[in-house]
Amino acid sequence: MDPHIAEAVERQTTAMRELSRRAFPEPDVVSDDASASIEQVRAKRRRQADVSRAAALRWARVEKAGTPTSKDTPQSLGRTA
């Protein structure tokens, strides 16, 4: 094989590996902080779900009690989504 061709193939292979590394980087090692942040997100979602559920229950009680007023609409009970 021609040494110039072998060098060109090696340069091309190196360039392709570098492009591949840039396009698909290796994920960083997952630290203990990552699991803590996942738990924080889960806790936040649980709180949001609890707020939404409480608002829905309040609205259901208002509807059951009689004709709701404009101040009793779900928008005034809190953000649910």
pLDDT number for residue 78: 54
CB neighbours of 38 closer than 8 A, spacing ≥ 6?
none
**In this predicted model, what pLDDT tens digit does every residue of 20-52 receive, in sequence order?**
999 988 776 555 566 678 888 899 999 999 999
pLDDT for the residue 35:
67
Name the pTM for this structure. 0.41
Residues 46/17, Cβ–Cβ less than 8 Å = no
Sorted by where each begins, the domain ranges of the chain are: 3-25+37-77
